[in-house]
Amino acid sequence: MKHRIRVSPSILAADFANLERDILRVEEVSDYLHIDVMDGHYVPNITIGIPVVEAIRRVTSLRLDVHLMITRPDDYIDGFIQAGANPLTVHYETCPHLHASIARIRSAGVEAFVSLNPHTPVSLLEEILPYVDGVLIMSVNPGFGGQRFISGSFEKIRKLARMREAGENWFLISVDGGVNDDNYRELCHCGTDILVAGSALFRAADPKATILKWKNG
């Protein structure tokens, strides 16, 4: 049976001077809106914070897929949840007490995702997988949009999908970085549930048509 594909347009590639307009262009056919929060420390870029997430919450009914690429995510979990994040993603690499971070997110009634950088093996997630709602695989080095997809990510996703099949907790697999018309089919075939993309969607001639094509395989 074909599994359901979800699409999460990343506003990192939107026109920030016309953010509401760009969000409304994709809202009808999208499942989430992906929001990258970067601090200039964990990744070499600075994007947005809690006030912008609050503002976005007021203009869309989409679920806000907030991805914390920051060095001290535990300090900001409550604030982003209050701003409307759901799901909320933290990085394996920045959470020394990952189980506690995940439990804190879920205790607020919010879905908790954990993300891995390209160099981090999925085997390190074995002990946390029973407690997460999703895993976000970074298929580029985080920090900037428009990067080339790292081809080794396909096998990484396959490994994670096999771990999911062997476990008792069914979690979603999300992929972010370099997702486009050339690789979305193989990503779905590998076991991906959520396709996160910025440039390939917001800069497409017809973002809605592209999203619908991806969702239909």
Q: Which residues are catalytic?
A: 36, 176
Q: Write b or e for each residue in 36-74: b if 16 or more Cβ atoms lie within 10 A of its Cβ, otherwise e.
A: bbbbeebbeeebbbbebbeebbeebebbbbbbbbbeebb
CA dihedral 163, 3, 23, 48 (to 10 degrees): 0
Q: What angle is formed at CA 102 by the lines to CA 109 and CA 114, rounded to 5 degrees?
A: 110
In the three-class reduction of DSSP (H, G, I as helix; E, B as strand; rest coil), residue 140 is classed as coil
**Which of 79, 123, 130 shows the shortest CA–CA distance to 105?**
79
One-character DSSP codes across 158-198: HHHHHHHHHSS---EEEEESS--TTTHHHHHHHT--EEEES
Q: What is the DSSP letter of 112?
A: E
